[in-house]
Amino acid sequence: MKNSRRNFIKKASTGAAVLSIGGILPSFSAKSYSHILGANEKITVACMGVNSRGLAVGKNFAAQKNCEVLHVSDVDTRAADICINAIEKIQNKRPKATPDFRNALEDKDVDVLIVTAPDHWHAPAAILACSAGKHVYLEKPCSHNPNEGELVVKAAAKYKRILQMGNQRRSWPNVAAAIAELHAGVIGKPYYAKTWYTNNRASIGVGKETAVPSWLNYDLWQGPAPRKAFKDNLIHYNWHWFWHWGTGEALNNGTHMVDLARWGLDVHYPTKVSSNGGRYRYQDDWETPDTQMINLEFENKSLITWEGRSCNGKSVESQSVGVIFYAEQGSMLIESGNSYKIFDLKNNLVKEVKNDFAVDARNLADPASNLDALHIQNLFDGIKKGVAVNSDILSGHQSTLLVQLGNISQRIGRSIQIDPQNGHILNDKEAMKFWSRTYEKGWEPKI
C-alpha cells in the first residue's frame, strides 16, 4: 500500500496540468476553505525547526486532513517536545522525535520536508531534501545569500522536486484578486510600489559567552555556518540580527511585501539597487539595520522601495505592514491582511475588499493560519495533481534576491548595478564578496 501511494505521488508530481491563480476569487470564504480538505491520499511530512514560527507551521500541516506529520526535528529538545505533544493532539498520532533532520530524510515514507529553521540553514537543508527525493516547504527567505538561492533552484530542477517558498500571501484569495485586477489595468500601468514593515523591537543587549545549554545541540544549530562561540542573547530569535546567521529585517519581513511588489509590477531582476540605513535605535550587539530604505529600479521604468523600521512601530497608511502601487490612473493598497483598497488620482476610495479571515500581522509565530493553509494545500496539489504552485522556487529566489541585493548595497555603502537578465552584480568585486559565504568545512551545500 505504501509503495502504491508513493508511486501515485511520484507520478503526479511530474504531471503537466497547470491551474491559474485567477481561479481564486475574493468571495472565497472560511466555509468554502473547509471543503478542500480531506483527500484520500495523505501527504507525509517532517518538520525541521519547530520553535515559534516552526511550531505554528507544523501544527498547521498536522491540521490538514490530507497530511500526517511523521517526524519532528529540532536542536532544542524543549521545543521538540512541545511540538510533538501539540501535533499528537491534533492528528491523534505521535510523530517521531528525530533530532537531526538528516535522519528524517532517510525515511522513505516522508514526502515533504518543512524547513522553518534559521536562515543560514534554509538553502542547505532544502538542497539535502531534494537530493533525498523529498519535496520542500521552505519558509522565506529561500536562502541566506544569492549563490545559495541559485543552488536551490538548480537542485529543484536536477532532482525534479517541488519547492514552495513560504511567502504565503501568494495564496491569499483577496491578495491574488488584487494583483489580478492590477494586471488587468484597473488603475492603468503601475510604475512604483512602496512596501514597508514596522515594529517596536526591544534591545538585544550585549551578549556574554557562556556554556551551551544542556537542551541545545549548538553544533547542529550552526550547521553550515563557520563556528562561533555561544552567547546568551543569540538563540532563539535574535540570530536574525547577526549577518553570520541571519539576514536582517529586510529578508525576515521585507521579503513578503517586496514579493508582492515584484508580482504586481510584473518584474524579475532590477538594473540598479541602493540602500541606506543602520542600527540607530539602540547600541547593542544587533548588526543588521533597524532602519533601512532599499530602492530597486527596473528597466521597464518602474521602482520598488522597502522601508523597514524594526524599532519604531508607527504605521504607514494605517497598516503595520503593506504595499501600495502607484499607477497612471490611481493607486492600490494591499493591507496587512487579506484585503485591499483602490483609489483614484484624487485620493477617493473607489473600491474596498475587506478581510474575510482574521490576520495579526505583528504575530511573529502565526499571523494567519487559515489563510496559510491555502498555501499548504496548493503545495499538496502541486505534488498530487501537477498543479503549478503559487510560489515556485525560481519566483521565490527572484523575490529573495531583491532584498539580498539591498543588503549587499547597504553593507558596501553605495549603489550597485545589476544585470536585468539574471540578477547578477555587474563589475563590482567588493559587492561580489557578499554574493556567497564561507562554510564550516564538511558542511558546504552541494548539488
User: Do 162 and 219 reside in the same domain of the chain?
Assistant: no
> 137-146 in b/e burial notation, b at 16+ Cβ within 10 A?
bbbbbbbbbb
Question: What is the rounded distance in angstroms from the CA atom of residue 216 to the CA atom of residue 74?
Answer: 9
State how beta strands 112-115 and 190-198 pair: unpaired
Confidence of residue 322 (pLDDT cuts 50, 70, 90): very high
What would the pLDDT profile of 41-72 be if each residue is shown by its tens digit? 899 999 999 999 999 999 999 999 999 999 99
Provide CB contacts within 8 A for 116, sequence distance 6+. Answer: 47, 48, 49, 50, 53, 54, 57, 58, 139, 166
State how beta strands 190-198 and 321-327 pair: antiparallel
Q: Is residue 249 part of a domain?
A: yes
Range of the domain at 287: 173-208+215-361+395-432
Question: What is the rounded distance in angstroms from the CA atom of residue 277 to the CA atom of residue 248?
Answer: 12
What would the pLDDT profile of 400-437 be if each residue is shown by its tens digit? 999 999 999 999 999 999 999 999 999 999 999 999 99
The CATH number given to whatever domain includes residue 7 is 3.40.50.720
Q: What confidence score (pLDDT) does residue 356 get?
A: 77
- Is a pLDDT exceeding 80 seen at residue 385? yes
What would the pLDDT profile of 163-199 be if each residue is shown by its tens digit? 999 999 999 999 999 999 999 999 999 999 999 999 9
Q: Is residue 319 part of a domain?
A: yes
The CATH number given to whatever domain includes residue 331 is 3.30.360.10
User: Do 104 and 158 reside in the same domain of the chain?
Assistant: yes
User: Do 228 and 141 reside in the same domain of the chain?
Assistant: no
Q: Is residue 444 part of a domain?
A: no
Number of domains observed in the structure of the chain: 2
Query: Taking a C-beta distance cutoff of 8 angstroms, is the pair 87, 44 a contact?
Result: no
Confidence of residue 30 (pLDDT cuts 50, 70, 90): very low
What would the pLDDT profile of 353-366 be if each residue is shown by its tens digit? 998 776 666 665 56
Q: What confidence score (pLDDT) does residue 12 get?
A: 39
Q: Is residue 183 part of a domain?
A: yes
Q: Is residue 438 part of a domain?
A: no
Q: Is residue 198 part of a domain?
A: yes
